[in-house]
Amino acid sequence: MRPQRYLPFLIIGLLCVEAGRAANNATAEVTLHGYVLDSACAFAKDLHKPVSESCARQCGEAGSPLVVLSDAGDVYWPISEKTPAEGQNPRLMPFAGRKVTVSGRVYKRGGSKGIAIEKIE
């Protein structure tokens, strides 16, 4: 048999796999409610809300990435859609330790969720 005969089927198969991967990372507009807290507290200490605003601010100022912990318990990593990407801590610092409503596009990859924040209040 000639391998060239199967080439179109191989190409179609690879395209289907790539389309499935792209669908898993598809963006969706969401609005969620939750707390802005430092990532270490969200994971290592399993907090459901910050200990205090000043604690969350101190951790953010010390360089710990701030995240949004939704009311559903999901952690959203604030991300930048710009190239080169910009850190989001300066934008989140005024809300550190506080309950917020966040709107933006969500990206998923490998069990992680990132949110490109368009609006935070």
pLDDT digits (tens, 9 = 90+) for 50-97: 889 999 999 999 999 999 999 999 999 999 998 898 999 999 999 999
Q: What pLDDT band is residue 1 in, cutting at 50, 70 and 90?
A: low
CA distance 115 to 69: 11
CA pair distance 96, 49, nearest whole angstrom: 11
β partners of residue 116: 105
CB distance 85 to 77 below 8 Å: no
Tell me if the domain spanning 27-120 has CATH number 3.90.550.
Answer: no
Q: Residue 113: is its pLDDT beyond 90?
A: yes
Residue 121 or residue 5, greater confidence: 121
Global pTM reads 0.76
Average pLDDT over residues 41-53: 87
Beta strands in 1-121 (DSSP E): 28-38, 66-70, 75-78, 99-109, 112-120
**Domain assignments of the chain as residue spans, ordered by start:** 27-120
Give the type of residue at 75.
V
